[in-house]
């Protein structure tokens, strides 16, 4: 149960403690502060990742092939880290066809056919309902 002691009594209590206990208390509080700062940073990173996942662009379109040279070196049998590695690696054959960027489509709304009848309707307010802005 917490007691409602005035702050001055807690300060007086700290003044009465031996220096070894004060140093131990300071170290304990610094450790607690460090752990809390790490926890806050971890939660902020989780929040950023969740926001990125939630608001990131999503698409089911086929992405361009991306490969990691280090993974390809590691997957090459009989190749040690000390061996010379060619700068140009060939992409593995996945059986998927090569894709080019699709041609951009025409933007905007298609015009209505010319054979459809057109009728122009104009609506006008009476002079009493018109406001003059000067």
Model pLDDT for residues 77-127, shown as the tens digit of each residue: 665 555 555 555 666 677 777 777 777 877 888 888 999 998 999 998 888
Q: What letter does residue 83 receive in the DSSP assignment?
A: S
Model pLDDT for residues 58-80, shown as the tens digit of each residue: 766 555 555 555 666 666 666 55
Q: In whole angstroms, what is the distance from residue 134 CA to residue 121 CA? A: 28
Can you give the length of the chain in residues? Answer: 134
22, 14 Cβ separation under 8 angstroms: yes
Comparing CA positions, the residue from 60, 58, 83, 59 lying closest to residue 73 is 83
Q: What is the pTM of this model?
A: 0.34
Angle 31-32-34 (CA atoms, 0-180°, nearest 5)?
65
Structural domain boundaries in the chain? 12-56
Q: In whole angstroms, what is the distance from residue 43 CA to residue 107 CA? A: 43
């Amino acid at each position: 149960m917490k007691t409602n002691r005035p702050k001055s009594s807690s300060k007086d209590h700290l003044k009465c403690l031996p220096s070894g206990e004060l140093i131990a208390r300071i170290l304990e509080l610094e450790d607690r502060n460090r752990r809390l700062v790490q926890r806050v940073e971890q939660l902020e990173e989780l929040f950023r990742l969740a926001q990125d996942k939630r608001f990131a662009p999503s698409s089911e379109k086929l992405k361009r092939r991306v490969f990691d040279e280090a993974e390809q070196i590691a997957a090459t049998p009989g190749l040690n880290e000390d061996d010379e590695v060619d700068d140009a690696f060939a992409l593995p054959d996945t059986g998927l066809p090569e894709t080019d960027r699709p041609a951009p489509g025409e933007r905007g709304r298609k015009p209505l056919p010319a054979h459809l009848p057109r009728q122009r309707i104009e609506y006008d307010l009476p002079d009493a309902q018109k406001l003059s802005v000067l």
